[in-house]
């Protein structure tokens, strides 16, 4: 089976490919020659995932899935949430986003946070959503050099290391994206 994963993010693509069964061939947006900016204007994570799928499905007659992810920090009224990728501005720099988040958490004792990922899947013009959540906390400084986004400052509950200190396989077993992806794979197989 061939299916489009609506992303240009090579880090996300690697995370998903490593968990995908061999009989499912992923095609990224680069693979299909799609370079248009995909709108993400919904007020919710699930809405953005659904919007991406609809955008691609209107242009390609193939099964497609897309995700959207947000980091919700309790002490910041669940910010950055749906704005996680552009928390520090539209230029989407992970370093700037993390720096702003750490600054906004200065003096806060409660650093609890959770990552939420929603995958939207369109198969045969029918859309299905799959959600994954990983509870944890925002660290006070960077740890590790693996992963991407907020990984160097997010430590999942029950672990003494951040996502950026984990292998792709280890992170995939417990992460928000991994949990949602397992649900999507179970649906596909």
The catalytic residue positions are 68
- Please tell me whether 48 is known to bind a ligand: no
- Please tell me whether 103 is known to bind a ligand: no
- Please tell me whether 148 is known to bind a ligand: yes
- Please tell me whether 23 is known to bind a ligand: no
CA distance 42 to 26: 26
Backbone φ, ψ for residue 104 (5° rounding): -70, -20
- Please tell me whether 151 is known to bind a ligand: yes
- Please tell me whether 7 is known to bind a ligand: yes
The answer to whether the bond into 159 is cis (omega within 30° of 0) is: no
- Please tell me whether 70 is known to bind a ligand: no
Cα 4 versus chain centre, distance: 16
Backbone φ, ψ for residue 85 (5° rounding): -70, -25
- Please tell me whether 33 is known to bind a ligand: no
Q: Which two tokens stand for residue 20?
A: 């995908």
Cα 24 versus chain centre, distance: 20
CA distance 171 to 173: 5
Q: Which residues are annotated as a binding site?
A: 7-12, 68-69, 148-151, 171, 176-177
Q: Which residues are annotated as a binding site for substrate?
A: 7-12, 69, 148-151, 171, 176-177
Q: Which residues are annotated as a binding site for Mg(2+)?
A: 68
């Amino acid at each position: 089976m061939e299916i489009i994963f609506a992303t240009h993010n090579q880090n996300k693509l690697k995370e998903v490919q490593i968990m995908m069964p061999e009989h499912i061939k992923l095609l990224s947006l680069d693979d299909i020659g799609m370079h248009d900016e995909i709108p993400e204007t919904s007020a919710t994570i699930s809405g953005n995932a659904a919007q991406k799928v609809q955008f691609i499905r209107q242009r390609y007659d193939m099964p497609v899935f897309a995700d959207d992810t947000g980091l919700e920090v309790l002490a910041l009224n669940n910010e950055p949430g749906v704005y996680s990728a552009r928390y520090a501005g539209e230029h989407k720099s992970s370093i700037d986003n993390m720096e702003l988040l750490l600054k906004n958490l200065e003096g806060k004792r409660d650093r609890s946070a959770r990552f939420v990922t929603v995958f939207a899947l369109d198969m045969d013009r029918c859309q299905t959503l799959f959600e994954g959540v990983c509870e944890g906390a925002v660290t006070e400084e960077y740890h590790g050099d693996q992963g991407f986004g907020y990984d160097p400052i997010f430590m999942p509950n029950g672990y003494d290391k951040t996502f950026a200190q984990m292998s792709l396989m280890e992170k995939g077993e417990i992460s928000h994206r991994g949990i949602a992806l397992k649900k999507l794979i179970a649906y596909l197989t």
